[in-house]
Chain A
């Protein structure tokens, strides 16, 4: 009943703004027409609360209120930055998330400020559903794969394939071994691509193809002949080959000794 009244009040207000609006109030609610409606007395406390809510409201790049799931994702991210474990909370568990914010004495304005400061990152996440993550070295990537709870994909330079955790680790470690055993390379860093709905994509080239491309680059036929080149030359060649393989992306950086 209360809900119905509220709906009528809203519709009635519209009428005062434009004559063309047709009021579709139910007969039982006729008493609440603008003619009979008493002037509303604003409760200062509620007005204040409204202002606070408004101040903390998150709007997307078009100025609309952001999708509640995205808002919850932002809240979760903010909680995570405060070292609060949100890994087991889903984005639709609003009450739980809000309780955690309350417990941590985090105000909505703080979350909004956090969002506003990083709007581009969140908007990209909302628009494209994915984010180019920060660089991680091989050990950090290995740990990330072990801990990851979504789907894992490898982009081998030719195609993107879904792999199991074990397969992803095998490809990562094999690539690392390939670099340290054939070429004098210390380690590498790469940027994983992460999606909001749980996919992790890693650029890991196929070693056979990489070796073939390296030989072609230096005009040699045997792998042993690559040893004649310095770490600097190899690292420069790898950078060129990888850049071509991944359409100019520089996610994979190799560090020669």
Chain B
């Protein structure tokens, strides 16, 4: 049986099992949930993915497994970076460059998928493309619930191709860091595959031109946007960035750097033996 994934829908089935005192398993993944018991087996889905998404995923998977890669340390992956100076900041205009199909292009550029697979992925709408590549890192958390609805056990199933996805994250951050170093003081911050920077609109040798050259050399395509009313507010734990893109207000929260020693003590207290 299939149903739309909504918290209320899933909770209704959980509550029903509790009332009827029936043990069940609850499986949660990014876009799905499943409740399985002697009474029912129901799949909750955010939306039904078109067949072409699964086709794209299968093509990527078939290609990448031919190229073994080293295990990626997910603890060190970088999804954002910033060069704010710990103070509130405002600029009338800033610029943003987003690498187009960053993960798929990295897989193609680094020889992990064929040109045919890359072309197939690129014909998909953006959300489907993201889903197809994201399936590489598919993860399921399976929770075993007793008759009273208490969680008594759990296990995690991670896709064997997860490292290829994390490889894309790692390589993207490497390119972003290179872009940031090319930009120097013009660099403001990055968020996944997007870079935000300052530049003089009238200058001939603009930051944008430097980026275009770099990205062309590296076989990437990118989109440029002019953003207005850019404001950074320093919060206790993060930078609150607001700006307007095509007159629509956008908000991004960028975590502030952590105190190195607090990080080390946190990690120590998290891993020490208390027995």
Contact code string A160-182 (vs B, CB < 8 Å = 1, else 0): 00001111011001100110111
A139→B72 CA distance, assembly (Å) = 14
Contact of A117 among B238, B249, B261 (CB under 8 A): B261
**Known A198-B274, A256-B251: A133·B11 in contact at CB below 8 Å:** no
Nearest A-chain residue to B4, judged by Cβ? A181
B226, CB-defined interface residue at 8 Å: no
A159, CB-defined interface residue at 8 Å: no
List the B side residues contacting A254 at CB < 8 Å.
253
List the A side residues contacting B265 at CB < 8 Å.
77, 118, 121, 125, 131, 133
Nearest A-chain residue to B261, judged by Cβ? A118
Contact B6 A223 (CB under 8 A): yes
Closest CB-CB distance, A87 to chain B, in whole Å?
5
List the B side residues contacting A131 at CB < 8 Å.
262, 265-266, 269
Query: Size of chain B's interface in residues, with CB distance under 8 A?
Result: 49
Contact code string A64-102 (vs B, CB < 8 Å = 1, else 0): 000000000000110011000011111000000000000
Contact of B255 among A135, A180, A194 (CB under 8 A): A135
- Interface residue ranges of B23-79 to A (CB < 8 Å): 26, 28, 30-31, 33, 46, 74-75
Interface size class of A (residues with CB under 8 A): 35 or more
A235→B238 CA distance, assembly (Å) = 14
Contact B272 A166 (CB under 8 A): no
List the A side residues contacting B253 at CB < 8 Å.
235, 253-255
**Known A166-B154, A170-B151: A134·B270 in contact at CB below 8 Å:** no
Contact A135 B237 (CB under 8 A): yes
A37, CB-defined interface residue at 8 Å: no
A13, CB-defined interface residue at 8 Å: no
A104, CB-defined interface residue at 8 Å: no
Contact B264 A144 (CB under 8 A): no
Contact A189 B275 (CB under 8 A): no
Contact A191 B237 (CB under 8 A): yes
List the A side residues contacting B74 at CB < 8 Å.
139
Which residues from chain B sit less than 8 Å from chain A, CB to CB?
A: 5-8, 11, 26, 28, 30-31, 33, 46, 74-75, 141, 143-144, 150-154, 235-238, 248-253, 255, 258-259, 261-275
Known: A178-B7, A211-B7, A232-B250. 5 other contacts (CB 8 A): A86-B272, A121-B261, A133-B270, A166-B143, A166-B152
A-B contacts, 30 of them at CB < 8 A, read: A80-B267, A80-B268, A88-B273, A118-B261, A134-B259, A134-B262, A134-B266, A147-B270, A147-B271, A148-B270, A149-B273, A164-B151, A165-B154, A169-B143, A173-B143, A177-B7, A178-B7, A181-B6, A182-B7, A189-B255, A194-B269, A194-B270, A198-B272, A231-B251, A236-B251, A250-B235, A250-B238, A251-B237, A254-B253, A255-B252
